[in-house]
Amino acid sequence: MAQNTTMDREYGDPSTATDPIIEMRNAKVTYDNGESYVLDDVSVSIERNEVVGVVGESGSGKSMLASAMLDAIPDPGRLSGEVLYHRPDGTTIDVLELSDEELRQFRWEEVAMVFQGAMSSFNPTMKIGGHFKETLKAHDAHVTEGLEFARELLSDLYLDPDRVLDSYPHELSGGMTQRALIALSLVLEPDVLVMDEPTAALDLLMQRSILMLLQELQEKYDLTMVFITHDLPLVAALADRMAVMYAFDLIEVAPRDQLIGDSGHPYTRALLNSTPNLDAPLEEMRAIEGQSPAPINVPSGCSYAPRCPLATEECRDVDPDFYDTGAGHSTACHRWEEARESITLNFEATDPTATGADSGGDR
Amino acid sequence: MSHPDTREATATAQDEEPLVSLDNVEVHFEKEQGFFEFFEEPDVVRAVDGISLDIEENDVLALVGESGCGKSTLGKTSIGLQRPTGGSVRYRGQDIWEAKDGRGDVDIPFDEIRSSLQIIHQDPGSSLNPNQKIVEILSQPIKLTHPEVGLSERRERIFSLLERVGMNPASDFADRYPHQLSGGEKQRVALSRALLMNPDLILADEAISALDVSLRVEMMDLMLDLQEDFNTSFVFISHDLSNARYFAEHGDGRIGVMYLGELVEVGPAEDLIENPGHPYTNVLRWATPDLALDSAGASEPPMRKIDIPDPVNPPSGCRFHTRCPEAREACQAAAPALRGPEGGHKSACFRGDPDHEYWDSPVLED
């Protein structure tokens, strides 16, 4: 197991983490013997006990980023680079150097993952309770104590433990299955929970309810969470820090309020403006022109340049590094100052009168 | 409805009738039973329970609600794909199911009704035949409606429509198979296929939900553009209030909110969102992601329970009373009717009536 306690910042890491729990450096995922990149040299740090929201379109490589944190890239993809995990006791492990057995223990006990589509994560012929027992046994945990904890987790998620443990997955609604899956992922008390579209395919009301429950779990169990989604406003309700992916690389990382109110990347600003929103003036809502690139022909220079209204020769020739664009705010754009000035956001990020959070009370 | 005798009278009656009119529609499904329960009363799921609604020419109606609230069943009933177990569905005054069964005086044949009411499904991938090229898929409706049109003219029409829905150049796309298209492109093909039938009403059943957030606005804009070009009405089903608002407000239409098979609020989009009359509409507002930072925190929901009750045994009285933060004992006893100005903003909540006994009854405790 590789020990590494140095904390150098020479990897183009856009974050300013002081107590990182996961550090990813120059992570690359290639398919077809290096012909196509689906994760292109990504460096990012996850702070202990923070909630990071990773946002990107379908095919931007966001699921690869999640899988890379657990060295769980599906074959025949190849992951290179460095993924460091800092244990709470101060030791550090390099996830990519772990043996198969060490990796098996690392996953779920230290970093757990929730995939989208809870129905396909559960075995349809086994009761929910069976999944908990199987997981506890596979990781040599105490089954009775573990089940006791499972009941607590299920109650935390507003589920009836007796009913849920004694049900087959198809007997529960989509929202209940997804919550049971979150409880299952936490049963071995991991420190980090990585979630890949955990609320996709659920209706909005259930998505929002699950988000509220995740926030309660995060506070109760001091979890670090990485929440991956295509739905920017959804994760904005939960995240402390947000990262935006475009064409297999991160393009902007910032604290939540900064990213929404003062983003410096033209893509982030376009993404914010294309989001249907209850308060935005309708005529200003815009779709993003053009299409994102495929993994085999990512343009040289900035990958967003072909769609970007501000692109210049420099953008087409030189792939931008991260610029420091504010406190804890990094933007990979040569023209971030201009983007802030010339691309206006179509909603009021800070005006409290525009939120309407309490409307409907005055009847 | 009376059956006019002469052709002229029929024509005027048709002009005055709404495009589609639902009257007290009920759709009840019987749950499948096991062998040993053979002699017991079957469980009945009340997917749609007593809904009356008119859809006019060039109208937009957005239906919102949770999974399992019956919005898809109501949508399918309104375009004659689902036979109601009670009440009636009329197309320009003609009862759709009487036309289907050949009962009574049939003024409009069922085939004509069938082709006038079209649907776009949620998953464009499984609604397009994977073994047919796009041009073949789009030829079918023309062959059906205009059998006299020749091959070259058919191709020409398909190409111009493909270009109209933003698939440029059409010759690039026409000879592809569905799996060679992106999700947004497949949905455009599905939309084109529906439009080729020259329909009066298209049901878009969660038609944009499977698309990326950044593509949804584009797809809605396209549907609204085409609505103007083709004079089509839309019933737009979504679980996302912000999409429903975008679509309904741009199309100058209404939003209808459904809960457990009932329509609990309906009204002009802007007014319904600004002044929700039903506590459930307020819950949907809470659930809608908002970029305004003050409300971005995951606040407590304005409801008492997260899960929707079992539709087999819906709660008594107002069906929302088990989750409603404002519920009082009066809500358990009686179900509020939909009230409000004709054709305006209506809601089914006792709180809309300042003189109701609700205000004197004790608050419900869990």
Closest residue to B243, CB basis, from A214, A257, A276: A276
- In angstroms, the CA B235 to CA A31 distance is 44
The dihedral sign for the CA sequence A249, A252, A256, A259: negative
Cα–Cα distance for residue pair A259/A328, rounded to 1 Å? 10
Structural domains for chain B: 7-31+41-131+177-360 (3.40.50.300)
Do B353 and B340 touch, CB atoms closer than 8 A?
Answer: no
Alpha carbons B31 and A218: distance in angstroms, whole number: 40
In a domain, A75, yes or no: no
> Are the beta carbons of A72 and A107 closer than 8 angstroms?
yes
Of B283, B291, B307, the CB nearest to A236: B291
Helix, strand and coil percent figures for chain A, each rounded to 5: 35, 20, 45
The secondary element (H helix, E strand) that includes residue B47 is: strand B44-55
The pair phi, psi for residue B194, each rounded to 5°, is -65, -40
Domains identified in chain A, total number: 2
A278, B273: Cβ pair inside 8 Å?
Answer: yes
Nearest to A204 among B240, B295, B307 (CB): B240
Residue A230 inside a domain? The answer is no
Which range marks the domain in which residue A311 is found? 266-349
Question: In this structure, what token pair is assigned to residue A314?
Answer: 């420099």
Digits of tens for pLDDT over chain B (366 positions)?
A: 444 444 444 444 455 789 999 999 999 998 776 666 666 777 888 899 999 999 999 999 999 999 889 999 999 999 999 999 999 999 999 999 999 998 888 899 999 999 999 999 988 888 999 999 999 999 999 998 888 989 999 999 999 999 999 888 888 899 999 999 988 899 999 999 999 988 999 999 999 988 877 788 889 999 999 988 889 999 999 988 989 999 999 999 999 999 999 999 999 999 999 899 999 999 998 888 776 655 545 567 888 888 888 888 889 999 999 999 999 999 999 999 999 888 889 999 999 888 899 999 999 877
- B213, B284, B290 member nearest A205 (Cβ): B284
Domain boundary among A189, A224, A245: A189
Specify burial of residue A157 (Cβ count, 10 A radius: 0-12, 13-18, 19+): buried
Nearest to A352 among B282, B294, B300 (CB): B294
pLDDT value of residue A8: 37
Question: Is A360–B246 a contact, with Cβ atoms under 8 angstroms apart?
Answer: no
Q: Which amino acid belongs to residue B344? A: G
Instruction: Report ipTM for this prediction.
Output: 0.77
Among B248, B255, B352, which residue's Cα sits nearest to residue B53?
B255
Domain presence at residue A99? no
pLDDT averaged over consecutive 10-residue blocks of chain A (363 residues)? 38 63 92 82 92 90 89 88 92 92 92 84 94 95 95 95 94 91 95 91 87 93 94 88 93 92 92 75 68 75 90 91 90 92 78 37 33
Domain end marker among A189, A212, A232: A189
Phi and psi angles of residue B120, each rounded to the nearest 5 degrees, phi first: -120, 125
- The reply to whether residue A209 touches residue B301, judged by beta carbons under 8 angstroms, is yes
Cβ atoms of residues B347 and B339 within 8 Å: yes
Chain B environment of A58 (Cβ under 8 Å): 183, 212
Pairing type for strands B346-347 and A111-114 reads unpaired
From A280's Cα to the closest Cα of chain B, the distance in A is 9
Contact B290 A279 (CB under 8 A): yes
- Among A149, A170, A189, the domain-final residue is A189
Tell me the C-alpha distance between B175 and A74, whole Å.
Answer: 33
Q: Is residue A258 a part of any domain in this protein?
A: no
- Burial zone of B7 (CB within 10 Å; 0-12 exposed, 13-18 middle, 19+ buried): exposed
pLDDT digits (tens, 9 = 90+) for A156-206: 999 999 999 999 999 998 899 999 999 999 999 999 999 998 887 788 889
How many Å lie between the alpha carbon of B277 and the closest alpha carbon of chain A? 8
Asked, for residue A54, whether it belongs to a domain, the answer is no
Q: What is the pLDDT of residue B25?
A: 95
- pTM value is 0.82
CA distance A131 to A153: 14
Residues of B with Cβ-Cβ distance to A354 under 8 angstroms: 292
Is A275's CB within 8 Å of B213's CB?
yes
- Please report, in angstroms and rounded to a whole number, the separation of the first and last CA atoms in chain A: 64
- Interchain contact, A276 vs B246, CB within 8 Å: yes
| Minimal CA separation from B351 to chain A, in Å | 8
Closest chain A CA to residue B305: A158
Indicate the residue type of A323.
Y
**Beta strands A192-196; A224-229: pairing state:** parallel
Identify whether A42 is part of a domain.
Answer: no
Q: Tell me the shortest Cα–Cα distance from A84 to chain B, in angstroms.
A: 31
Determine, yes or no, domain membership for A323. yes
Q: Which helix (H) or strand (E) holds B64?
A: strand B60-64
Report residue A272: phi and psi, to 5°: -60, -40
Spatial distance between the Cα atoms of A147 and A328, rounded to a whole number of angstroms: 41
Other CB atoms within a 10 A radius of the CB of residue A44 amount to: 25
Chain A residues touching residue B240 (CB < 8 angstroms):
204, 276
Contacts of residue A200, defined as CB under 8 A and 6 or more positions apart, other chains included, come to A116, A117, A229
